[in-house]
Amino acid sequence: MNINENFLTLQKNYLFSEVQKRKEAYLKKHPDADVISLGIGDVTLPLAPVVIEAMHHGVDEMADKKSFHGYGEEQGYLFLRDAIRKYYEKKNVTLENAEIFISDGAKSDLGNMLDIFSIDNTIIIPDPVYPVYVDINQMAGRKIIFIHGTKENGFLPMPQEDLNGDIVYLCSPNNPTGAAYNRKQLQAWVDWANDHSAIIFYDAAYEAFLTQAYPSSIYEIEGAKQCAIEFCSLSKTAGFTGVRCGYTIVPLALEKDHVLLHDLWLRRQSTKFNGVSYIVQRGAQAVFTPVGQQQIQEAITYYLENTEMITKTLKDLGIWHIGGKISPYIWMACPKGFTSWEFFDYLLDKCQIVGTPGAGFGKQGEGYFRLSAFQDHDKVYEAMLRMIAHLGF
């Protein structure tokens, strides 16, 4: 018996588990501390009323023999896939229902999708970025090339002439920096992927925060159906972090080595995944109704008001930052020459605020820090008062 030794090369804890552990350790020492979390991107507003109503109805259906549901359709219920297809129509993206796979969120499928690709593939990962991309590939022992996001390139690395690899992860708007690729930049990535016979794993988990000036799906870009798989989630869009529902799009036309990736993914999913519950899929369907869209927009606007509060404070404090406006995250430089974990400790100790150290998102994140706007207005307001009191050096 041998274990997968690649696991021994990982950091001891997943980034957000580490943050949580340190917060708990602090609370153990200071049980009365009123700690405000601007760390993990976890929503605080309840589900939209229309979603709740749909889920209640789903529960009632499950209680009646005539409308009860056992195993669901293998790619997800048609009613939900069709609602998602229509949502993409509004972005001028034509999809077929067969191209949509309902998932329990983007994170799982970003990792699961690797099942259909050889272990020999070289993976290209922007740095800084959502740490899951690195960890899941490191677990499998794949070769990773990092491309650097820096202040100079606006934390949006582009393909250089000598870049070679098989799978590239793109996240736009980016977690953690909040920077988003424009149409021209995404076109350059799609062209690069098609020229290099590479695949783009496009993480659109934060697409709902974008304005129309930015593409919110990779398929808005010409040639993307020949090279890209898109992952999306209702976690941040509709407050589903605790409900779990997302979707993955694998174009029917996408093939490598004369093999249709769609077929491989369907084979993988029908074998290893039994789908998302009927009740949750009914709730997800409600997100895509006109009322649902209006209600989730209210929540997104609420969180964006938090980003305004945070960016205004940082501006007043003279601290360099980007993000917000089209993203729930603010990416700031650590003041006073702190490393990002030193600043984490400082902020927790002096202000009782939890954020996420930039170094947790990659080497290029050292010296930076992420603040999440997924929090209640009054808590963000209080957190900003504390920051002004302690960082107004």
Q: Which two tokens stand for residue 82?
A: 């069709």
| Residue closer to ligand MLT (CB basis): 27 or 40 | 40
Q: Are strands 122-127 and 368-372 parallel, antiparallel or unpaired?
A: unpaired
Least spacing, CB of residue 374 vs ligand MLT, in Å: 8
| Residue closer to ligand MLT (CB basis): 108 or 277 | 108
Find the helix or strand (DSSP H, E) in which 207 lies. Answer: none
| Residue closer to ligand MLT (CB basis): 138 or 187 | 138
| Residue closer to ligand MLT (CB basis): 16 or 26 | 16
Residues in contact with ligand MLT, shown as a per-residue x/- string from 211 to 250 under the rule CB under 6 A: ----------------------------------------
Name the closest residue to ligand MLT (Cβ). Answer: 41
Least spacing, CB of residue 59 vs ligand MLT, in Å: 27
Residues in Cβ contact with 118 at an 8 Å cutoff, skipping those fewer than 6 apart? none
Alpha-carbon distance of 121 to 114, in angstroms, equals 10
Q: Does 146 bind ligand MLT (CB under 6 A)?
A: no
Cα torsion angle, 89, 91, 92, 97, sign: negative
Q: Does 87 bind ligand MLT (CB under 6 A)?
A: no
Q: Which two tokens stand for residue 166?
A: 């098989």
Adjacent-strand bridge partners of 247: 102, 232
SS3 290: helix
Alpha-carbon distance of 195 to 61, in angstroms, equals 50
Number of residues that bind ligand MLT (CB under 6 A): 6
Least spacing, CB of residue 97 vs ligand MLT, in Å: 27
Residues in contact with ligand MLT, shown as a per-residue x/- string from 56 to 85 under the rule CB under 6 A: ------------------------------
Q: Does 40 bind ligand MLT (CB under 6 A)?
A: yes
Alpha-carbon distance of 365 to 357, in angstroms, equals 8
| Residue closer to ligand MLT (CB basis): 247 or 278 | 247
Name the residue with tokens 């990092």: 146
Least spacing, CB of residue 130 vs ligand MLT, in Å: 6
Please select the residue that binds ligand MLT; options are 19, 36, 37, 41, rule is CB under 6 A: 41
Alpha-carbon distance of 101 to 78, in angstroms, equals 10
Q: Chain centroid to CA 228: how far?
A: 17
Please select the residue that binds ligand MLT; options are 37, 108, 174, 175, rule is CB under 6 A: 175
Please select the residue that binds ligand MLT; options are 16, 26, 302, 346, rule is CB under 6 A: 16
Least spacing, CB of residue 154 vs ligand MLT, in Å: 20
| Residue closer to ligand MLT (CB basis): 227 or 359 | 359
Residues in contact with ligand MLT, shown as a per-residue x/- string from 110 to 139 under the rule CB under 6 A: --------------------x---------
| Residue closer to ligand MLT (CB basis): 12 or 65 | 12
Least spacing, CB of residue 275 vs ligand MLT, in Å: 21
For the purposes of burial, counting CB atoms within 10 Å of the CB of 4, is it exposed (0-12), middle (13-18) or buried (19 or more)? exposed
Pair 126, 147: CB distance under 8 Å: yes
For the purposes of burial, counting CB atoms within 10 Å of the CB of 249, is it exposed (0-12), middle (13-18) or buried (19 or more)? buried
Pair 143, 123: CB distance under 8 Å: yes
Least spacing, CB of residue 42 vs ligand MLT, in Å: 6
Whats the size of the chain, residue-wise?
393
φ and ψ at residue 252, rounded to 5 degrees: -65, -25
Alpha-carbon distance of 390 to 393, in angstroms, equals 7
Alpha-carbon distance of 144 to 391, in angstroms, equals 38
Least spacing, CB of residue 267 vs ligand MLT, in Å: 27
Q: Which two tokens stand for residue 216?
A: 């919110």
Least spacing, CB of residue 224 vs ligand MLT, in Å: 24
Q: Does 107 bind ligand MLT (CB under 6 A)?
A: yes
| Residue closer to ligand MLT (CB basis): 170 or 254 | 170
Per CB under 6 A, residues contacting ligand MLT are: 16, 40-41, 107, 130, 175
